A and B are shown apart, each in its own frame.
Chain A
C-alpha cells in the first residue's frame, strides 16, 4: 500500500483518492446509542399486530366479501350509472355554483371569526390567561363537533337550505383556521415586536406594524387551503339538508336516478379540481 502525501487543497480537493489512505482507520468506531433491549422491540411488534387484529375484527373486514363486492362497485359506477344524463346539467350547474357560494361565504365567515381568535389563542399576543383558555376551549369544542352535526343543528335553527350549510361550514372551519392562525402567530419572529416596543409603539400599533406583516401571508394561505376543503365539505353538508349540489345528489340517489347522479358526480369532480388548481396557484404566489 502506498501512502501518497497529499493534503486537502482549498479548491475542494480533499486529497482522498482510490489508493490513497491518508490516515489509518481506528479498529472500532463508536456504536450508535442503544435503543433498549430486544424484548422492547418484540413487545412493540406484538402490540402493533394486536391493534391491527382488533381493528380488522371490529370492522368486520372480510376478503371474501371484498372480492365478491368489487365487481358490484364497478358495475354500479361504470355500467348502471352510465351514460351520464345531459338533461340534468342546467339544474346541476345552478346547484354546483350554489355549493361554491356556500364555500365562499362559509370560508369568509370562518376567517372573520378566526381572526380575533387567532390572536387571543396565541401565547405571545393574548391579553390575559382567561382569554387564552376560553378561546382554546372554544376551538377544542368546535373541533369535536363533526360538520354534519353542525349542519343538522343549524338546519334546526334557520331551516333546511344553503344558509344552514353556510353556517355549518363556516363555524366548523373556525376549529381548524383559528388553530392554524394562532400557531402562525406563536411562530413569529419576536425580534420585530421587540423593536416596535423599543420604538415606543403601543400594543395595537405593535400588532399592526410587527405582527400582522409576518402572519398575513400565512393567514391567506391557510384560508385558501380551507376554502378548497370547504368546497368538498359544502357538498357533503348539502346531503343532510345544507343546500347546494349535495342536496340534489342526495335526492337523485334516493330516487335511483343513477344517470343524473353520475352527471352530478362529474360536475362535482370538475368543480373540486378547478378550485384546487386556482387555490394552489394563488397560494404559491403569496408565500
Chain B
C-alpha cells in the first residue's frame, strides 16, 4: 500500500515553483491508477516523488509501512529495486542490446563488483528472456536498442521494469511518443501485467480516453492538488472541467 500524506514539492532552482501543494492519496496493492492533468499540473513531479528521483519538500510517502522520505541513499536504493519505472522517451541505452537493457534491472540485486563484470546468474538471464517474451519481443534480444521501432522500444522499457520483479510500476506518459494504435498495444501490455501479476500500476497519461479505457481509478491533478479521485466510470463532464479547466468539446479531447 502507498500512502501519500500532505506531499509538497517546491522547486527552488531559479524561480520558485510550487509543483505540488498538498497531495493526499492512498493507493492499494494491485490497483491500476491513471493520473491525469494539464501540462504542468505536477504529474511527473508526483510520480518522481514516489521513487524519490525528486526529493519532496515536505510530507510523507509511506510504502508498505515505511516512510521513504526518511530513508538514506542505500535504504532508498533497496526500495527502488521493487519499483519499476517506464518513461515517455523509453530511456534505453541505445548502443546496448535489448537483452543488456533488460539485464540492467538485475544489476541492482548484485554486489557492485559482480554486476560491473556482468556476472549475471542463469536465473537472471532466464528472467530477462521471460520478460521479453511476455511483451512479445524475445526475438529482438540481441539487437541494438536503437534498431527498434518506438513501440518495440517501449516494450523493452516494460520488460526492463518487469525484470526488477517489482511490486509497483510507475509509468510517466508511457504512450505519449507513440502512434494511437501502438499506444493501445502498450496500454494493453501494462493492463495485462497488472491483471496477471497484481503489480500496483500508476500511469501518468494525457489522453483521458486511454485512462478511462485501462485504469480502475483516475486521479486528477490541477495546480498541485488532487481535484478528482475516483473510479474511472465516475469521470464526467463537471469533473473534466475541474481537471482541465474547460469543457471536453472545446479541448478536442475525446471524453
Contacts and interface: CB of A to CB of B under 8 A. Distances in A.
**A and B associate in one complex:** yes
Interface of A: 189, 191-192, 194-202, 204-205, 208-210, 213-214, 217
Interface residues of B, number: 34
Contacts of A209: 93, 104, 107, 115
A197 B164 CA distance: 13
Contacts of A213: 93, 95-96, 100
Contact of B115 (A189, A192, A198, A205): A205
A195 B85 contact: yes
A208 B119 CA distance: 13
Contacts of A199: 80-81, 84-85, 104-105, 107-108, 160, 164
Contact of B91 (A191, A201, A204, A217): A191
Nearest to A197: B53
B92 A192 contact: yes
A201 B104 contact: yes
A217 B146 CA distance: 15
Contact of A208 (B91, B116, B170): B116
Contacts of B170: 198
Contacts of A217: 95
A202 B110 CA distance: 11
Given A192-B91, A195-B91, A195-B160, A200 B81 contact: yes
Interface of B: 51, 53, 74, 77-85, 87, 89-96, 100, 104-105, 107-109, 112, 115-116, 157, 160, 164, 170
Contacts of A191: 87, 89-92
A198 B53 contact: yes
Contacts of A196: 104, 107
Contacts of B79: 200
B165 to A, nearest CB: 11
A199 B93 CA distance: 14
A205 B116 contact: yes
A197 B83 CA distance: 11
A202 B164 CA distance: 15
A198 B104 contact: no
Contacts, number: 82
A213 B104 CA distance: 12
Contacts of B85: 195, 198-199
Contacts of A197: 53, 80
A195 B92 contact: yes
Nearest to B73: A202
29 contacts: A191-B87, A191-B89, A191-B91, A194-B53, A195-B87, A195-B91, A195-B92, A195-B160, A196-B104, A197-B80, A198-B51, A198-B53, A198-B170, A199-B80, A199-B84, A199-B107, A199-B164, A200-B78, A200-B79, A200-B81, A200-B109, A201-B107, A202-B77, A202-B112, A204-B112, A204-B116, A205-B107, A205-B108, A209-B104
Contacts of A201: 77, 104, 107-108, 115
Contact of B80 (A189, A192, A200, A204): A200
A204 B113 CA distance: 9
Contacts of A204: 112, 116
In this complex, the member of B53, B74, B83, B95 whose beta carbon has the largest number of chain A beta carbons within 10 angstroms is B95
Contacts of B164: 199-200
5 closest A-B pairs by CB:
A191-B91, A200-B108, A200-B80, A200-B81, A195-B91
A202 B87 CA distance: 20
Given A198-B80, A199-B107, 6 more contacts: A194-B87, A195-B87, A195-B92, A200-B79, A208-B116, A214-B93
B107 A192 contact: no
B153 to A, nearest CB: 11
Contacts of B82: 200
A60 B125 CA distance: 72
Contacts of B104: 195-196, 199, 201, 209-210
A210 B108 contact: no
In this complex, the member of A189, A198, A208, A217 whose beta carbon has the largest number of chain B beta carbons within 10 angstroms is A198
Contacts of A195: 85, 87, 91-92, 104, 157, 160
B84 to A, nearest CB: 8
Contacts of A194: 53, 87, 91
Nearest to A216: B95
Contacts of A198: 51, 53, 80, 83-85, 170
A197 B108 CA distance: 9
A205 B94 CA distance: 17
